[in-house]
């Protein structure tokens, strides 16, 4: 089974929630919040807390229980807001869609849907608790894609700039990273968010898997995937995160890192050095000594590598050698330096050698296929997801601000 649960946590959780409510003169199954006239009960909160503890495999303490309670409340409020907003657009999520997502979750954890439901029931958690969370996520994704997707445009210039940025970073180190994003709604809440981040780190030190913590606590788009960002290069992340990654050891988790809008916790799973191989296509031209003036006139007329094909017909004793897909690393340093200094379809100044006058025209140079530069389609998807994520966070922030949310505990 992918989940393990300790009976102690059920008893402690029940005592914590009941005593918390009784301290304020409430029963354990009372109303804990009202979101635009929709009730969140203490039963809802307790069920969500149990699911968080189950998924993170944490043995609870009084401090962790309070953290789980706060996160459970915030998640439930946000889910109510998401479903209410989706309802305005008559968005409905079928049970089949929910079941498919549970199946994907099971595959990620090397389990099957029935074992997940069985573990929930053993922990006194109704499977509907997980299903409602998934339903809110799916409805919100449909809403954001439908509301903002058609408005997003990625220009050719943006694609070119992003591809160039990737190429510029190819020689830099690469990191296999997972992330947790903790949003801070205002500077006044920074200290509390930071303290919460420290508690999550301690929780992971005590054995909670990073992916499970990310799924429950991260506000990043990668949260549902356990925070997995895949391989990134130095320069892809905010500068504060880049600095932290450069100093981390493989297998470690960072302290909360302050970034714009909150804090980020990253796990460094692997690292590899940069230096992707570059290949070049070029033409090497040689003419007899004494033909330099004629050679320069020829080169001035040649605007592409194809134009050099007629060299031997115009200058007696001249010849041209084509070289294709030659790795720059395999060339002599002096020769490589010349090619690295040239732009496409540019020729080097003629150089006298014992064998004649030599010039090189660069046709093109690029990184080898698979070096890490995404295709245009991949860049469009990446930029679109970034913009949709920003708009989703902005919409949820506005919904929190404009809604009537009453807390009873």
Q: Find the CATH number of the domain harbouring 24.
A: 1.10.4030.10
My answer on whether 180 and 107 are in the same domain is: no
Q: Does residue 286 sit in the same domain as residue 363?
A: yes
50-89 confidence digits (pLDDT tens): 998 888 877 777 877 888 898 899 999 999 999 999 999 9
Based on the fold, state whether residues 258 and 307 are members of the same structural domain: no
Same domain, 265 and 289: no
The answer to the question of residue 160 being in a domain is no
pLDDT at 5: 32
pLDDT at residue 405 greater than cutoff 70: yes
Question: What pLDDT sits at residue 274?
Answer: 67
Please tell me whether residues 234 and 290 are part of one structural domain. Answer: no
Q: What's the pLDDT score for residue 384?
A: 93
15 and 96 both lie in a single domain: yes
Asked whether residue 135 falls in the same domain as residue 35, the answer is yes
Burial class (CB in 10 A: 0-12, 13-18, 19+), 232: buried
Domain-located, residue 43:
yes
Which of 256, 275, 294 marks a domain boundary?
Answer: 275
* Rounded alpha-carbon distances, angstroms, from residue 337 to 329, 341, 342, 387, 409: 10, 6, 9, 40, 70
Say yes or no to pLDDT of 169 above 80. no
| CATH number of the domain bearing residue 315 | 3.10.50.40
Flag the least confident range among 112-116, 164-168, 194-198, 294-298.
164-168
**pLDDT for the residue numbered 370:** 53
Is position 302 within any domain?
yes
- Are residues 225 and 258 located together in one domain of the fold? yes
* Predicted local confidence at residue 13, as pLDDT: 46
Helix, strand and coil in the chain, % to nearest 5? 55, 20, 25
Looking at the structure of the chain, the number of domains it has is: 3
- What's the whole-number average pLDDT of the chain? 86
> What percentage of the chain carries pLDDT values higher than 70?
90
Q: What percent of the chain has pLDDT over 90?
A: 55
Element at 35 (helix H, strand E):
strand 31-35
pLDDT higher at 274 or 38: 38
- Domain containing 56: what range? 7-150
Question: pTM for the complete prediction?
Answer: 0.69
Question: What is the C-alpha to C-alpha distance for residues 81 and 144, in angstroms, rounded to an integer?
Answer: 13
What pLDDT is stored for residue 409 in this prediction? 62
Same domain, 79 and 130: yes
Considering only 8-22, 38-52, 108-122, 311-325, which range has the smallest mean pLDDT? 8-22
Q: What is the SS3 assignment for 31?
A: strand
Which band of pLDDT confidence, cut at 50, 70 and 90, is reported for residue 275?
low
Average the pLDDT over 355-365 and give the result: 92
Say yes or no: 199 and 306 in one domain.
no
Mark which of 275, 302, 331 sits at the end of a domain. 275
DSSP-derived secondary structure for 310-378:
GHHHHSTT-EEEEEEEEEGGGS-HHHHHHHHHPPTTEEPPPEEETTEEEEEEEEEEEEPTTSSPPPHHH
Residue 155 is assigned to a structural domain of this protein: no
Q: Which residues contact 362 (CB under 8 A, 6 or more apart)?
A: 280, 281, 282, 339, 342, 343, 344, 345, 346, 347
Domain presence at residue 388? no
In this structure, of 212-221, 254-263, 293-302, 367-376, the range with the lowest mean pLDDT score is 367-376
Distance of CA 9 to the CA centre of its chain: 33
- Of the pLDDT bands very low, low, confident and very high (cuts 50, 70, 90), residue 40 is very high
The reply to whether 324 and 261 lie within a common domain is: no
């Amino acid at each position: 089974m992918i989940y393990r649960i300790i009976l102690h946590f059920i008893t402690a959780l029940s005592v914590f929630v009941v005593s918390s409510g009784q301290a304020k003169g409430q029963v354990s199954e009372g109303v804990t919040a009202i979101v635009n006239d929709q009730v969140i009960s203490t039963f809802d909160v307790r069920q969500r807390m149990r699911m968080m503890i189950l998924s993170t495999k944490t043995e609870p303490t009084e401090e962790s229980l309070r953290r789980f309670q706060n996160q459970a409340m915030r998640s439930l409020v946000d889910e109510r807001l998401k479903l209410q907003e989706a309802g305005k657009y008559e968005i409905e999520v079928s049970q089949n869609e929910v079941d498919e997502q549970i199946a994907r979750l099971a595959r990620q954890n090397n389990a099957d849907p029935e074992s997940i439901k069985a573990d929930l029931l053993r922990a006194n958690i109704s499977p509907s608790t997980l299903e409602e969370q998934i339903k809110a996520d799916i409805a919100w994704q449909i809403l954001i894609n439908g509301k903002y997707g058609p408005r997003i445009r990625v220009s050719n210039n943006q694609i070119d700039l992003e591809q160039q940025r990737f190429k510029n970073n190819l020689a830099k180190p690469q990191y296999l990273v997972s992330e947790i994003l903790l949003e801070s709604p205002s500077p006044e809440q920074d200290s509390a968010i930071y303290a919460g981040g420290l508690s999550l780190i301690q929780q992971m030190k005590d054995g909670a898997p990073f992916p499970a913590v990310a799924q429950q606590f991260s506000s990043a788009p990668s949260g549902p995937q356990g925070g997995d960002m895949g391989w990134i290069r130095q320069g892809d992340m905010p500068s504060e995160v880049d600095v932290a990654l450069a100093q981390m050891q493989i297998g470690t988790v960072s302290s909360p890192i302050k970034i714009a809008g909150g804090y980020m916790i990253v796990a460094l799973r692997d690292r590899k050095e940069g230096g992707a191989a570059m290949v070049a296509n070029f033409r090497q031209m040689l003419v007899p000594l004494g033909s330099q003036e004629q050679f320069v006139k020829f080169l001035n007329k040649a605007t592409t590598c194809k134009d050099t094909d007629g060299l031997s017909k115009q200058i007696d004793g001249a010849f041209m050698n084509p070289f294709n897909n030659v790795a720059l690393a395999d060339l002599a340093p002096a020769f490589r330096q010349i090619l690295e200094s040239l732009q496409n379809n540019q020729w080097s100044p003629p150089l006298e050698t014992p064998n004649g006058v030599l010039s090189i025209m660069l046709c093109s140079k690029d990184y080898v296929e698979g070096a890490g530069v995404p295709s245009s389609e991949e860049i469009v998807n990446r930029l679109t997801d970034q913009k949709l994520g920003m708009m989703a966070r902005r919409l949820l922030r506005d919904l929190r601000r404009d809604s009537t949310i009453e807390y009873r505990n």
